[in-house]
Structure 1
């Protein structure tokens, strides 16, 4: 994406910005006792949440889905059927939004009005076939002064599928969208934090049942700054896990330049580490710098680890994919965390901020190697 396209996207983002239900500022607080960082945004308690315990994904019909029916803020850009990123040019939804806010009694920042707004916009106006589209998160976690929150949703044809069963081209389109958002973030002097709440279960934080990802464009969080400081004195921790003999039993599989292993000290049992290996020059930090072939390998790796969960557990559990990228992190990687009921943090974890696990990551790596080998032979 060149400078002209970035400027065009920035204009589109600015024009659609009134469609988010924003608070001026959230509360960022560092716990004076434990040192942990907390973000407080009371607006989030009122957001729409269609995924509930015990429901199967088929119970939320595609025809009723907010994302699939286009009841969202205006499309900012999309990845078309050929894999090309297209900055949306339609203006009808922007004009409707302006007219909506000019109506008497309508108030930006009032959540019921924002839900009424997306219904009034008239739905999406994209070509019949596309792979992924990106729009503002209607109820963002960040305050107006902190950055922007985006959603990237797959085509409605894939409403009933989770990541494991998505065509590789669709997952690749989601990652290509992250690349665009990271470039946009860098132009603002911020970073991109992409993540997926998956499994169509509330334990992951997934609120809309069809597959989608989110990206927060923000200032570097405390964790990223801590990683940057440790890299200065201790070197790259991701390279250490991939190449140091101490961690060799964590390795599971390579997909091109993408390394898949068990996470060395996870917050939950059965967590994966997915990292992009260096091309021989330096650690790959920015997701926007990945060439298309490596991006496709990363997409396939994401699909593969969720397929492995299904083979292990008999179903896809709730899971989170936390992607860490950017200059502060220094080495692009993702932590994939299943939210199973056999590994729920309890009193000891809260008291000590130390995770108590029942499974050695090395044992999980051995199981995952067998599962992936068996799947490859089928």
Structure 2
């Protein structure tokens, strides 16, 4: 029997058998219904040195390295959301068929192809006052993300009026505008049988991962989905009913965090996160795409989660946003704080994850901070 236990089970058993001050507390295993990942949960993790320290110091950033304040260093605008919330694709970009034909006759693995394409579809940089967000080519394009081949690198950034704002201070309409641009990239990628992966490093702390000071999100258009997407698909195929549908439709779900206006989109504590206090934003309706979901509803859920974090911690944490669509079956958005649990040597050596707050407790504590 003992031989059949996993490394993680042995680790949890050892934690519970230990009675010193550092490891005091009952540990158990939680499982992610999406990927099957199992994590150890133990309150003792909160006693690790440096644990839970939130990065809230502004990094020293080159003033020129900004998507808002330096037009001469800003690439051409590919699309934008105007002051009324309408997505505008300039005339030279509207001919999607031309873009598709161009890509189909070129070696898409060559970064020069992306530059040639964006040059051929270049539009002016002069946007009308009051625009909410814009989509541009990423000046720091990388041809690969690990083993993933990158077809295009894009950036969606907010208007200059919200330059250097904390994410939780952004108006809901501005966050919705960023999501509208995600949807535009998702639809364009699908037409090419590619995958759009929107993500953001949010915050100014040393671990935020930001190059620019202004709030923005990155969009990688990939040839193939990330491995985690396939893990979710395989898990769904084996498990029958979608676990996210269960979380979204059960009013009594132990992980659901109610917030005003949550009829179309749900906010939940992550069932087995890699970082404590992680959240899931998921549409109530099962779909592999975000394009049919109201952007304001998604923005409202994201803002509710981030604002609850801020009220609980006393400061907005550095965090990541990742939108997962396509083969995952039920499109969703992950909100992951970057510095809420510190891995010990055993976790780093084994590749296992140990968190200190049960997802049910995360839900319980954040509910009190949702307005």
TM-score (norm 1): 0.69
Give the conservation status (yes or no) of the 8 Å contact 1:270–1:361.
yes
- How many residues are matched? 286
SS of residue paired to 2:129: coil
> What SS class does the counterpart of residue 287 from structure 1 fall into?
coil
Alignment counterpart, residue 251 of structure 1, candidates 246, 252, 256? 256
Aligned equivalent of 2:211: 207
- Counterparts of 1:350 and 1:135, CA distance in 2: 37
- For the residues of structure 1 that align with 2:133 and 2:305, how far apart are their CA atoms? 21
Match of 1:167 among 161, 171, 176: 171
- Map 1:94-243 onto structure 2 (within 5 A): 124-143=125-144, 146-218=150-222, 219-235=224-240, 236-243=242-249
Per-residue deviation, 1:129? 1.9
SS in 1 for 2:198: strand
Distance 1:274 1:295, change over 3 A: same
**Aligned-partner SS, 1:261:** strand
Change beyond 3 A, Cα 1:244–1:167:
closer
The answer to whether the 8 Å contact 1:76/1:87 transfers is yes
Query: For residues 289 and 152 of structure 2, what CA distance do their matches in structure 1 show?
Result: 19
The alignment partner of 1:214 has SS state of strand
CA drift at 1:222? 1.5
Task: Give, in angstroms, the shift of residue 142 of structure 1.
Answer: 3.3
Aligned match of 1:16: none
Deviation of 1:323 after TM superposition, in Å, equals 1.2
Instruction: Pick 1 or 2: higher relative contact order, CA cutoff 8 A, min separation 6.
Output: 2
Change (3 A) 1:346 1:244: farther
The 1:350/1:60 distance shift into structure 2, 3 A limit, reads closer
Query: Does 2:269 correspond to 1:262?
Result: yes
Q: Which runs of 5+ in 2 are unaligned?
A: 1-54, 94-109
1:228-250: CA deviation from partner (whole Å, max 9, x where unpaired): 122222131312334569x9221
Question: Closer, same or farther in 2 for the Cα pair 1:80/1:268, shift >3 Å?
Answer: same
> Which of 51, 58, 62 is the aligned partner of 1:56?
58
SS in 2 for 1:336: strand
> Larger helix proportion, structure 1 or 2?
1
When residues 371 and 124 of structure 1 are mapped into structure 2, their CA distance, relative to the original with a 3 A threshold, is same
Question: Do the aligned residues in 1 keep the contact of 2:208 with 2:318 (CA within 8 Å)?
Answer: yes
Asked if 1 retains the 8 angstrom alpha-carbon contact of 2:290 and 2:325, the reply is yes
- Aligned mates of 1:321, 1:142 — CA distance in 2: 22
TM-score, structure 2 normalization: 0.70
